[in-house]
Amino acid sequence: MDTSESVSKLMAKSISKEINVTKVDLPPLDEYIMYLKEIWSNGWITNNGKFVQLLEKELEKYLNVKNLLIVSNGTLALQIALKSLEINGEVITTPLTFAATTNAIIWENLTPVFADIDSKTYNIDPRDIEKKINNNTSAILAVHVYGNPCYVDEIKEIADDNNLKLIYDAAHAFGVEYKDKSVLDYGDISTISFHATKIFNTVEGGAIIVKDKNLIKKIKLLRNHGIKSEEQVVLPGTNAKMNELQAAIGLCNLKDVNNNIMLRKNIYSYYKEKLGDLKGLKFQKISASSYNYSYMPVCFQNSIDRDKVYSELYKNGINSRKYFYPLTVDFDYFKNKDHAEYNLKTASDVVNKILCLPIYPNLNITEINRIIAIIERTLKT
């Protein structure tokens, strides 16, 4: 055996032992190649190709929504949502979220104002939203954290009463329903991510779901440089177009979504069953009528236990994640500002105790039991 072959086998062995918090779902290669052959044959790889248009229609059917527009990633979906609604001033949002939520607000020259979260659902607390509204507030950007629906009815009432635009960052909420209705149907606009780590992926990608049909034309212009025709550019847009290669991945992956969600549900339920009796452990209160089990968050009794479990899992080749740590309000570019007035007591508490455990369709029972055993052993020491 030569050196290169030996190194390759060693790398393969080490990779196979490592367990990540999630794992990308890739379609069967032969299925994807069939799409590639057609793309190569017709020579059309971007600019609203046939597979992008087909994927939009298929997603509208699967998600049971209307007015869905595909874009190249979930962050641009958020930026276009803010831009299309002509938001200005302050936007009330949650600090317990991925960086993109806060960054999109800042990129649009808006000011994020942080409201605290609910201790059970981990979503933005409607009561604190009301406290943060002032004359400069123009919108609420709420997040369905880990795909768990927000208090959508209460938030809608607040938005309506105060004449605020309402956007939902539904990056994690693919296929999720609240009261048997797609959670993407709430708000003026919902955005979703098709990043490689999500339940449904196009490698990179996302979508915008619009309530007002009059916004559709505007958003189509915004995602393609504001180009109306070959000789007309009517507004300052950006490049947020998905290409045919990504759309083809999406069309392949859409076939397996239901099966993958079922497998995730089984893993999620097994974790809860086996870890449910451990002292101090809490699980997110799920408000969905139909959930996608995109994450497996566990809240420990304190930060010491959380960090010990995180370290022990890591030592054993298991990559859990302190998701979403730190709070976005604690990012370096906020450190020179005084955020004490936000009073984010619950969010600050939860973020120091939460840990997302590995969950993906082909995570096998042996691996899950090993994760559970390490957690049990660590908490008893």
List, in order of start, the domains of the chain with CATH numbers: 29-254 (3.40.640.10), 257-380 (3.90.1150.10)
Helix (H) or strand (E) holding 53: helix 50-63
The residue among 136 and 10 whose pLDDT is bigger is 136
Task: Categorize the per-residue pLDDT at 250 as very low, low, confident or very high, splitting at 50, 70 and 90.
Answer: very high
Q: Is the pLDDT of residue 245 over 50?
A: yes
Strands 227-229 and 181-182: unpaired
- Gap between the Cα atoms of 262 and 281, Å rounded: 24
Mean pLDDT of 286-298: 98
CA distance 308 to 313: 9
How large a percentage of the chain has pLDDT more than 70? 94
| Helices and strands (H and E) in the chain: how many | 13, 14
Give yes or no for a contact between 172 and 165, defined as CB atoms under 8 angstroms apart. Answer: no
- The mean pLDDT of 23-37, rounded to a whole number, is 97
pLDDT at 14 over 70: no
Q: Give residue 10's pLDDT.
A: 35
Are the CB atoms for 171 and 104 separated by under 8 Å?
no
Split at pLDDT 50, 70, 90, the class of 12 is: very low
How much is the mean pLDDT over the chain?
A: 94
Spatial distance between the Cα atoms of 196 and 176, rounded to a whole number of angstroms = 18
pLDDT greater than 60 at residue 321: yes
DSSP 8-state code for residue 27: -
Residue 15: the pLDDT is: 42
CA distances (Å), 181 to each of 52, 124, 133, 313, 328, in order? 25, 20, 28, 38, 30
Residue 93 pLDDT more than 70?
yes
pLDDT at 336 over 80: no
The pLDDT value given to residue 4: 43
Residues 6+ apart with CB under 8 A from 34: none
How much is the pLDDT for 338? 57
What pLDDT is stored for residue 337 in this prediction? 59
- Residue with the bigger pLDDT between 380 and 34: it is 34
Q: With bands split at pLDDT 50, 70 and 90, how would you rate the model's confidence at 11?
A: very low
CA distance 310 to 144: 25
pLDDT in tens, 339-373: 566 899 999 999 999 999 999 999 999 999 999 99
